[in-house]
Structure 1
């Protein structure tokens, strides 16, 4: 296995659209969302571990999830868990992780990957990532994986690439914000747009240099602690410094400024598992087109539902179509799939009405 290959697993999100299973104490990446026997973070770690050495995989997460990470990934040592003392979006934590890796190995190339996506063809994933790694090793470029759109999705950002570029890894013209439906249809018709999956590859030298060029203040802030990284002094420096980092995404901080970004169209199936509906799409369905996780189900005149309960619980549904039905301890959610984007607001109302302990 290549010792210059590193991975940074992003595992700090709360996944509130998967409430009530995903809560602020135990978010979706630590759950077996598909009933496979492995949690999403375990599946992601295993997928990366096929071509990245175990000790070269860092887990970026919030301090409150440290114990969950160590419990679910027993092969990971404490110093591989990079803890954010404050939520500051994706740019500061990626810079921090890149500098830690740079101090370990200045020839490193790294992948930044969310911990909660679903990818079935792991061989194809490894092949795509290593193709980008090889480009990043020899050129000062930033690479990303794009997903061929299957419909005009308004929930994803898009990557517009250079139509005239005949190479496998193509030059990116620009990143586009989440579009409205008509704009998304135009993107698909043009044929040179991919979904932005939020999976990035670069050498540590190139990404740190990009921060120096486009985010000099942020770069200096973390550079001041370089001597402490991977030592006993790191924790104190980060605790004191991190909260003053600018709250900004990697997209705004770096990707929208750089003119050296390339995209490879992914050759694998991908699902971002962002909502109950996307989970429904991924799961096998029974004869009534219901997707079931853990429950023992009896249905009558009930179609297209996403049903989840504790293992072995009997769930009887009659006369409901296209609903999300999730039973978890002291919360039962019965909600139309068509309104799944509103679950965040529902969660806020539950907090206001009944208290934080249900969130």
Structure 2
């Protein structure tokens, strides 16, 4: 296994559209959302470790999830967990982790990947990652894996690539925000748009050069602590300096500004598991398209529903179509699947 290969596993999100299962205290990446016997972060770690040495996988997360990670990934050492004292989106934490990696291995190439996505055909995933690593070792490229769209989805960002580029790895023209349905249909018809899965590959040299050019203030802020990274003094520096970093995503901070950005259209099935509806797509279904996790059900005149409870709970449903039914501790959610994007707002309402 190549000792220059590293991964930054992003595991700090809350996944509020998966409420009431996913909560701030126990987010979705630490749940077995698919009923497979493994949590999402365990599945992702296992997938990455097929090509990357286990000790080279860093996990970026909020400090409140440190114990959960050590419990679910017992093969990981405390040094592999990179803790954010404040939530500042993806750019600051990626810069921080990249500087830590550079100090260990200046020849590193790395993948940055979410910890809570569903990927089918892991052999293809590993093959796509290998191709990307090969390019990033040879050239100063910032790469991403794009997903071939299967529908005009308005919940994903899109990557526009150069139509005239005949190579299998395409030059990126621009990143596009989540579109309305009319724009999404136009993207699909153009055939040179891919879904942005948030999976990035680059050499440590290339990404740090890009930060220095496009985010000089942030780069200077984190470089102040370079001498103490991977030492006992690192934590004190990060506690005092990290909250001063700008709250900005890697897409806005780097990818939308850089000119050396390329995309490989992925050859594996992917789902961001962002909503109950997207989970419904990936679960086994009965003859009426109902997906059930853990529950023992009696269903009549019920179709297209997703039902999730504690293991062994009996659920009787009659006359519901296209609903989310989730029973978790003191909360019961019965909600139309067509309005699933509103769950995030409901969680905020309940808090206030």
Q: TM-score range by the shorter chain?
A: over 0.9
Counterpart residue number, 1:147: 147
Distance (whole Å) between structure 1 residues aligned to residue 305 and residue 165 of structure 2: 43
Q: Is 2:277 the counterpart of 1:247?
A: no
Alignment match, 2:264: 264
> What secondary structure sits across from 1:111 in the alignment?
strand
Q: Which residue of 2 aligns with 1:128?
A: 128
Query: Where do residues 1-359 of structure 1 align in structure 2 (5 Å cutoff)?
Result: 1-352=1-352
If the length of structure 2 is used for normalisation, what is the TM-score? 0.99
> How far is the alpha carbon of 1:287 from its aligned partner?
2.0
Distance 1:298 1:346 in 2: 29
Cα offset for 1:288? 2.1
What is the CA RMSD across the aligned residues, in angstroms?
0.6
Alpha-carbon displacement from aligned partner over 1:120-165 (angstroms, at most 9, x marks no partner): 1111001101101110011111000000011111111110001111
For residue 317 of structure 2, give the secondary structure of its aligned residue in structure 1: strand
Measure how far apart 1:166 and its partner are. 1.1
Q: Which residue of 2 aligns with 1:356?
A: none
How far residue 345 of structure 1 moved from its aligned partner, in angstroms, is 1.3
Equivalent residue pairs, number: 352
Distance in structure 1 (CA, Å) of the matches to 2:254 and 2:182: 28
Alpha-carbon offset, residue 168 of structure 1: 1.2
1:265-310 superposed Cα distances (whole Å, 9 cap, x missing partner)? 0000000000000000111101221100000010011111100000
Return the alpha-carbon distance in structure 2 between the equivalents of residues 306 and 265 of structure 1. Answer: 30
- Which structure 1 residue ranges, 5 or more long, are not aligned? 353-359
Q: Unaligned stretches of 5+ in structure 2? A: none
Aligned to 1:355: none
For 1:9, what is the secondary structure of its paired residue? strand
Q: Distance in 2 between matches of 1:337 and 1:179?
A: 20
Shift of 1:349: 2.0
